Structure 1
Amino acid sequence: MNLPIIKKTFFILLLTSFCIKATAQSTHVLWYNQPAEFFEESLVLGNGKLGATVFGGANSDKIYLNDATLWSGEPVNANMNPEAYKNIPAIREALKNENYKLADELNKKIQGKNSESFAPLGTLEINNSEKGKAVNYHRELDISNAISKVSYEMAGIKYTREYFVSAPDQVMVIKLTSDQKGALNFDINLKSLLKSTVEVRNNILVMTGFAPIHENEGYTLLPKYKDVKERGIRFTTLIQIKKTDGKITNSRETLSLKEATEAIIYVSVATSFNGFDKNPATEGVDDITIALQNLNKTFAKPFDKVKENHIADYQKFYNRVNLDLGKTTAPDLPTDERLLRYADGKEDKNLEILYFQYGRYLLISSSRTMGVPANLQGIWNPYLNPPWSSNYTMNINLEENYWLAENTNLSEMHLPLLSFIKNLSVTGKVTAKTFYGVNKGWASAHNSDIWAMSNPVGQFGKEDPSWACWPLSGAWLSTHIWEHYVFTQDKEYLKKEGYPIMKGASEFFLEWMITDKNGKLITSPSTSPENKYIAPDGFIGATMYGGTADLAMIRECFDKTIKAAKVLNTDSDFRTKLEAALSKMYPYQIGKKGNLQEWYFDWNDEDPKHRHQSQLFGLFPGDHITPLKTPDLANAAKETLEIKGDETTGWSKGWRINLWARLWDGNRAYKMFRELLRYVDPDGKKTKTPRRGGGTYPNLFDAHPPFQIDGNFGGAAAVAEMLVQSDENEIRLLPALPDPWESGKVKGICARGGFEIEMEWENKMLKKVSVSSKTGGKTTLINGDKKENVVLKKGDRKEINW
C-alpha cells in the first residue's frame, strides 16, 4: 500500500471539495463583511406594511422603520379647481392655430395640487454598553426565508442577531444572543423626524405621533410642521423585550437589558389610516390598540413558532419560482465585491438569479396592503423629504413596479395596486369633470398618493406642463386589470370590480378625444411624459396634440376593454363604439430617421436620448406592436431605441430591457441587463473615482439615481420576459434567450391564459417543457419554428420532450 499516494489523493480530493465550496455562489443570500454605513448598503425587510432598514452595526445598530400607510395629508378634495376645464377650448384653439407657446402657457391652467409624501416613521437604535472592535463580522439577508442575520466577535465573545418582519403576526422580531452567559448589555432608543413623543410604560417603549398636513411644494424643504388637531395620520410604535435571563430597566425614554444571554425584541407598529376617503384623525382606526394587540399576541408565543409561521407564510409565495442558468465559475465573494467584479464584465450567473429573485422578494415585502401599492421607494424611506415625495408616479414608475407581479407568480401582490386603481376611479370621476370637462368615466394624472389623488399636479399653474399636465394614467393602469384577469382567469373579479373600472377609463377617453383636420381621432392637449419637442420655429415646448404615447395607451385601453366585455358577454353597443373609435384613431407615424415618431409631426426631441420612451408603449407593456404582427412598427421601435442609446437611468434601463426582449433580441436585452447591474456607489459616499449613474447599489437597490425601486422590478420582470412571452392564445418559449444563458431551467413562470411553465434547455435548444393549467384552457406553445397545441383541464399538466 502506497501511503504517500493515498495521502496525496486525499489532499487533492479535500482541496477539490474546498474549491467547489468556495465557488458555490449563492442565488439567495446577500452578504457583507462590514456593517452598512449608508442607506444604499443596508438590508431591507418587510411584510407588505411594516418596513425595516437594517444597518447591522456592532457597537450600535440602527434600524429605520416605515409603515406603508404613514403619509402626510388627508383625503383629497378632488373638486379643488372646479372651473379648470373651461380653459380647454382656448388650449385647443391655440393648438389648432399652431401657437404652441400660448398652448403651453394656457395648459398650466389645467393644474391642481401636488401629491402628499410617504413619511419616515422613525429610527430604532440598539446600543451596546461594551464598546470594542468587532472581528469576524458577517452580515446577510437570506431572501429564501426573508431573514437577516449579523454575527461578530468582541472581546472573545460571539454575538449574533437575527431579524425578520412577520406578516402573520404583524410585528418585527429581533433575536440577540451571546455565547457567554450574561454578556448582553444594551439600551434601546426610538426617535422620529415627525412630531412625536417617546416614553416607557410597563417596560414597553412607546412612541406616538402624527404625520403632517402639507403639500410638498416643489419638493423643497418644508417649514416645521404645525400642530393641527384632528388632522393627519396618527402612528404608534411599541417595543418590548423578552428575556431568558438578565434584568430589564428603563429610564424615561430608554429601555435597557443588563447581563442577559439571549433576548428577543418585538416591534409593533400601527397607524390610524382607514382608507383613502376617511379622515385619519376623526374616522381613523385605533392605532394604539392595534399595535398593542399585535404585540401582546406575538409576545405570548414561542419565538420558534413566530419564526416558523413567518417563513411558511413568506415561502408560499417565494418558492413558486426557481431559476437555474447553468454552471458558474464565479468565486464566492461578498455581494458588494461581487457586483464590482460583475461590472468588470466577469461571469456570475448566480448573481443574475439573485437579482431576479431579489425583485420578487422586494414585491412580496412591500406590496401586501390593500389600496396601498408599493411606492417609488417600495416601503423603505428614511427621509422627511424623500425624492419625488416617494409617491405614486403613474407615467411609468408605479406601473413598472408591477410588471413582475403576474408573470413571476406573485398575483396576490398585484391586488394592492388593483384596489388602489379602484380608489382612483372614485376621485377620478370628479377630476374628469372639473379638469377636463368630461362627464363620463374617470381620469387620473401623473402623480398620486395614499389618498388616491387623481388631479393633474403643478401647484395650480406653477409647474412645467411636460410632466404636470398628463391625463393618461387611467388608460395605462386599466390594462393592469386585464393583465390580472388574463393571467388568473378570475372572471368573478373582472365582472364585479375590474371591468366597470376599465369601462370608466375608456368612457373618459371616448369623450376626451377630438378629430384632427383629416378626421382622425387625437388627444388635444397632449404631452409626452417629461419630454419636449423642438417646433419648426425653434420653440421648445411640451403641449401638443395627437402625441403617440397618448394614442398608444388609449389603443391598449380600448382593446383590453373590448376583450373584457367579450369575456363577460356584455355591453355590445359600447364595444362597437370602442371598435369604431379604434379604426378612426390617428395612426402611428414612422419618421425620416426610421424611428417611431413621438410627436404628431416628425419633430426632433429637445433631448434625443431622453429616459422616457413612452411612444413605444404599444410594444411593451402593451402588445399591439410585435415583430410578427407589425414588422414595420417593430423595426421603427428598434430604431427609436438605437437613437436613444443604452445609457440611461435605472428604471428606464429596466423598461428598455423589456422592450428589447419583446423585439426578440436576447443579446441586446442581456447587454442592458448587465448594465442595470453595474455597481453604483452609495449617494453620500466620497471616493476618488466615484461610480455614479443608473445601475445597482451595494445592497442591490436600483440606482435611478437616487434609489427608486422600479428598476429592480423592471429588471426582474425582464428576466421572465426573456424566457417566456405570451398572449391569450399562445406562449412563446425562450423568445429572447441570450447566448450566455445557453443552458438552464426554470419552474413557475406564469403565462397568460392561466398557465404555468416549467422548462429545461441546453445549448440554447429547448429540451423539455411542462405546462399546467390553473383553470383549464387551450394555448399554443411556440419555440422557434415548432408549435404544439395544448388543451388542459383545470389542474392538469402536460409534459413535452421538445
Structure 2
Amino acid sequence: MKIAVVSLLAAALVPLKAPAQGAYTLHYDKPASTWTEALPVGNGRLGAMVFGNTADELLQLNEATLWSGGPVSPNVNPGAYAQLAPARAALKAGDYAGAAGILTKMQGRYSESYLPLADLRIHQQGVGQVASYYRDLDIRDGIATTRFSAGGVNYRREVFASAPGQVIVVRISADRPRALSLDIGASSQLRFAGQAQDGAIVLRGKAPARVDPNYYKGPSEPVVYDDPAGCRGMRFETVVQPRIQDGTLEAADGKLQIRGASEVVLLVSAATSFAGFDKCPDSAGRDEHALATAPLRTAAGKSYAALRAEHVADVRSYFDRVDLRLGGTDGADRSALPTDRRLEDYARGGRDPQLEALYFQFGRYLLTASSRTKDAPANLQGIWNKDVRPPWSSNYTTNINLQMNYWPVEAANLSEMFTPLDGLVRHLAVTGAETAQSYYRLPGWVVHHNSDIWAASNPVGDLGHGDPKWANWYMGSAWLSRHLWEHYQFSGDKEYLRSTYPVMKGAAEFMLGWLQEDAQGRLVTMPSTSPENVFRYGDGKENSVTMGSTMDMGIVRDLFTNVTAAGAALGVDADFRARIAAARARLLPFQVGARGQLQEWNLDFDEVEPHHRHVSQLYALHPAREISPLATPDLARAARRTLELRGDDGTGWSLAWKVNFWARLLDGDHAYALFRNLLRLTKDSDPAWSGHGGAYPNLFDAHPPFQIDGNFAGTAGVIEMLLQSQNGELHLLPAMPAAWASGSVRGLVGRGNFVVDIAWQGGRLASGEVLSRLGGQCTIRSATPIAIPALKLRSQKSALGYTLTFDTRKGARYRVVPG
C-alpha cells in the first residue's frame, strides 16, 4: 500500500501560550533549613544538594559508586538448601508459622549501604543584613542559583553538575569588583584525610567494609571499617580546585582562603576505586586519584561560559524531548510564588496545573541527573544521600522500588538512562545463578528483595534476623527481566534483545524449577509472600508465608509471556517456549474473593493491614498487562474493588503506584485525585511518620522519609493518563481527568518506538501526531472517532472507543484528527 505522509506542525496543536518564565523552575525566598529543602543537581555520577545559605553555604556531595563493602559470595549460608524441603512440607500441612520460622534459617547477609561523599562549605565574609534573597533550580538547564544583596553588593552563585565535563561547577560572583572574601573547606562523615595545598583542597578517604541497615539492631557493630575476614572498603578522593579573578588565594588551617576576588569558580571532582561488582575495591580497585584529577585538567582549559554552555546543551538535549502543558478551568499562573508556598496553597485545594506539569518534568530531570553511570542505577534516593546509615541503606529494593525508578524511562523519552539498570541486571544474573545453585539447587538465576552495587542476590537478614515477609521473596529476577523486555519493546533493537535474551531465559529457567504442584495439581510458587503484607488465618493467627501469592503468579505469567515473545521475535528456542507454555497453562489462576476483590493470596485470607501500602496483588494490572478493562473486564472490576478496599491514602511511592493503577483502569479522575495527594506538603518538622506520603518543599517524594521512587512513578502515572501502549496499540488520552480540560503533550514514546504528540480541548482529542521511528503496523485507540486525512482512513467502533490500524514507514509522521 502506498503511504502518504503529513507532518503535524506545532501550530496544529491547540493554541496555548508559551510556558511562563518559571515553568521549569523551583524557587524559594529563603535558604534551605533542612536537607529536604535543599536543591539537587547531578550528572548521573556526581550529585550535590545545594542549601543556598548566604554567609555559610553548604553543598552535600555524592558519587554514584561510593558504597560500603565489596563482593560477597552468595553462598554465605551453606545450610540454607537443607531448610527448603521442611519449609515446603510445613506449608503443605498448613503450618504457616512453622514454615516462616524455617525460612529465617535460609537468610544471608544484609546488602551494603550507599554512602555520602563529602560536605563542601563556603564561608563568605562580610555578609551581614541580607536583602532581595532568592534561590532556584532551573530543571531545563540543570542549574541551581542563589542571589542576595548585602552591604550594597549583589551576590550570585550558580551550581551545576556537568556530564560533559564530569565536574561540579560553582561560580560565585558580585556586581562590585574585589567584593568576594571566602573560606572554603571540605570534610566527610567517612574516614578521611584532607589538606589544602597548591591552590586546591584534596580529600582522600575510605568507605567502611560493612554498614548494617539503619533499622538493624543486631549484635554486630553497625559500621565496620576493618574487616579482616572480607574485602577492605572502597577508596575515594574529592578535589576542589578554585579559579579566581583578582584577589589572593592561600591555604591555611586546612582551608582555602580567598580575599578580594571579583569572581570565584570552583571545580569539584571526585572518584572512587570501584572497579566492578566482582572486584575488591581495595586490592583490585581503580586509581581514584587519576580518575578524580583527569576531568580537572580538561576543565582547566575551558572558560566558565564554555563549561556552562556545554552543560546546558547536554541537559536540554534530554529535557526538551518532552513538553507538557496543562490547562483547565482556572488558567492562573502561580509560578511567581515560591514553590513551598505553591505546595501549601495546593494542599488547601488550590488549582495549579503548572505545578503539576513541573512535578512531571522534575521526575524526568531527576532521572537524567541520577541514572547515567554504568552499572550504578538510581537507588532509593537517586544519587543524593547525607547519611552513613541512610533509610533502608539507600539500596536497590527489588520488590518494587528499584523497578519503579525506571517506569518512566522509555515512555518519557529517556531511553539512554536505562543503561545503568541494564548493567546491574546482567551482574545480578551472574551472582543470582550462584544463589540459585547454593540456596535452591536450581538452574537459572534468582534475586531477593535487596541488592547493592555488588549485585547481592541472596535473601538478606543477617543469617536469621530478617522477617520473611520481605527477606524471603524470590521474584526479583523475574520482575527485573520485564525491564529488559520493555527496553526492546520501546526501542525495537533486535541486537539488544539477542544479547539480553539469555538473561531473560535464565529467570524463566529458575521459575520453571521453583514452581511446585499444589493439592489440586496446579503450579504455584512455594514458599510465597505478598510483600510486605500479613494475613490472618485460623483462630486469629497471623503470618506472611504461604504458597502461590497472587503477585507471584502474576509475575510468573508475565515472565513466561515475555520470554515466549522474545524467543519468537528471535526465532529461537521453540522447545523451551513449549515448556513455558505448558507450565503457564497449569499456573494457579487469578481468583476473586468474597468481597469482589482480586485475592492477594492463594486462599481468601483477610489482611492484617487492610490499607497496606503495597498492593502487590495488582502487579498483573500494572506494571504488567495480564489484567485490563479491554481484555479481562471481570478481573479489571476485581482489581478496582481491591483498590477501593485498600483505600486512597498511603506513603508517597504507594500513592504513585495507585495513580498508575487507576490510569490502567481508565479512571482519570481517580488517578488525578491520588496524583494531587503526591503533592501534599510534608516537612521534616512534622510528627513521626504516620503513613501519609506527599512531597517535601524541594518536591522530593516523602515516603516519608525521602524515597525517589515516588517521584519517578508519579511521572510515569501522568504518562499513563495521557498515553498507554501496553496492549499493542497507542491509546490516546486513556484516562484524561476533568481537571486537565485542555492541554498538549509532545514527545511521549509508545511501544513499537512511536513518538506521540497529543493536544486536547474540553477533555477530547483535538489533534495528534505519530512519528514512526521503526516503521511497521500501528494501531491507535481513542475514546472518540479519529481519522488520518493523508491516508483517507477513519476509525472503527470497538468494544472500548474507536480504533484505527495502518502501516507506517520508518521516519514518517502521521497526523491524527477527530473524525
TM tier relative to shorter chain: over 0.9
SS in 2 for 1:407: coil
What is the aligned counterpart of 1:178 among 149, 174, 183? 174
Is contact 2:209-2:226 (8 Å) kept? no
Alpha-carbon spacing, 1:341–1:25, altered in 2? closer, same or farther (3 Å): farther
Q: Which residue is 2:646 aligned to? A: 644
- Mapped partners of 2:732, 2:164: distance in 1: 37
Distance 1:368 1:477 in 2: 19
Alignment of 1:94-133 (within 5 A): 94-133=90-129
How far did residue 697 of structure 1 move?
0.4
Change (3 A) 1:155 1:746: same
Q: How does 1:316-465 map to 2 (within 5 A)?
A: 316-326=317-327, 328-331=331-334, 332-438=336-442, 440-465=443-468
C-alpha displacement at 1:228, in angstroms? 5.8
Alpha-carbon contact 1:250-1:256 (below 8 Å) kept: yes
Deviation at 1:252, TM superposition (A): 4.3
8 Å CA contact 1:728–1:752 kept in 2: the answer is no
**Paired AA for residue 96 in structure 1:** K
1:469 is matched with 472
Aligned to 2:36: 40
Quick one: which amino acid aligns to residue 423 of structure 1?
H
Deviation per residue, 1:18-72 (Å, 9 max, x gap): xx99x95732100000000100100000000001000010011001000010000
In structure 1, distance between residues paired with 2:314 and 2:462:
43
SS at match of 1:270: strand
Aligned to 2:549: 547
Secondary structure at the counterpart of residue 659 of structure 2: helix
> Partner of 2:82: helix, strand, or coil?
helix
Deviations 1:263-315 (A, max 9, x none): 10110011110110111112111110111111121022111111111111111
Q: How many angstroms apart in 2 are the aligned matches of 1:516 and 1:168?
A: 56
Separation (CA, whole Å) in 1 of partners of 2:245 and 2:214: 52
Structure 1 contact 83–434 (Cα < 8 Å) conserved: no
Matched, 1:89 2:85: yes
Question: Judging changes above 3 Å, is the alpha-carbon distance between structure 1 residues 270 and 555 closer, same or farther for their aligned structure 2 residues?
Answer: same
What is residue 791 of structure 2 aligned with on the other side?
none
Q: Deviations over 1:485-544 (max 9, x none)?
A: 000001101102x21110000000001001111110001111111111111232211110
* Corresponding position of 1:722: 721
TM-score (norm 1): 0.95
Preserved CA contact (<8 Å) 2:430 2:445: yes
* CA distance in structure 2 between the aligned counterparts of 1:177 and 1:25, rounded to whole angstroms: 23
Alignment match of 1:661 (pick from 660, 663, 667): 663
Task: Name the structure 2 match of 1:250.
Answer: 251
Q: Distance in 1 between matches of 2:474 and 2:333?
A: 48
**Alignment match, 2:292:** 291
Cα-to-partner distance string for 1:558-595 (whole Å, 9 max, x where unaligned): 11000100110100000011111110000011000000
Which amino acid in 2 is paired with 1:292? Answer: T
1:9 maps to none
The CA deviation string for residues 697-750 of structure 1, in whole angstroms up to 9 with x for no partner, is 000000000000000001010000100000363110000000011111110000
Amino acid at match of 2:734: P
Against the structure 1 CA distance between its residues 639 and 508, is the aligned structure 2 distance closer, same or farther, given a 3 Å change threshold?
same
The CA deviation at 1:82 is 2.5
Q: CA deviation at 1:686?
A: 6.3
Distance 1:206 1:588 in 2: 59
Q: Give the gaps of 5 or more residues in structure 1.
A: 1-19
1:690–1:71 Cα change, 3 Å: closer
Contact 2:127 2:151 survives alignment (8 Å): no
**1:696 Cα deviation from its structure 2 partner:** 0.3
CA distance in 2, matches of 1:25, 1:667: 29
Contact 1:552 1:617 in 2 (8 A): yes
1:742-761, aligned counterparts within 5 Å? 742-761=741-760
- Unmatched runs of 5 consecutive residues or more in structure 2: 1-15, 784-800
Of residues 786, 791, 798 in structure 1, which corresponds to 2:802?
Answer: 786
AA paired with 1:33? D
- How many angstroms apart in 2 are the aligned matches of 1:627 and 1:651? 24
Could you say which residue in structure 1 is the equivalent of 2:511?
A: 509
- 1:210 deviates by 1.0
Distance 1:218 1:305, change over 3 A: closer
Residue type of the alignment partner of 2:26: L
Residue 632 of structure 1: how far off its partner (Å): 0.9
Matches of 1:257 and 1:59, distance apart in 2: 14
What pairs up with 1:141-290 in 2 under 5 angstroms?
141-216=137-212, 219-220=215-216, 222=221, 225-227=224-226, 231-290=232-291
Structure 1 residue aligned with 2:621: 619
- Counterpart secondary structure, 1:219: coil
Instruction: Specify the code of the residue in structure 2 equivalent to 1:297.
Output: T
Kept in 2: contact 1:85–1:433 (CA 8 A):
no
Matched, 1:61 2:22: no
- CA separation in 2, counterparts of 1:686 and 1:736? 34
1:369 CA drift (Å): 0.7
User: What amino acid is the match of 2:291?
Assistant: I
Amino acid at match of 1:37: S
Displacement of 1:400 in angstroms is 0.4
Structure 2: distance between partners of 1:164 and 1:505: 40
5 Å matches for 1:539-618? 539-618=541-620
Residue in 2 that maps onto 1:140? 136
Separation of aligned partners in 2, 1:201 and 1:595 = 67
Cα distance in 2 for residues equivalent to 1:419 and 1:425: 10
Aligned to 1:6: none
Shift of 1:226: 3.3
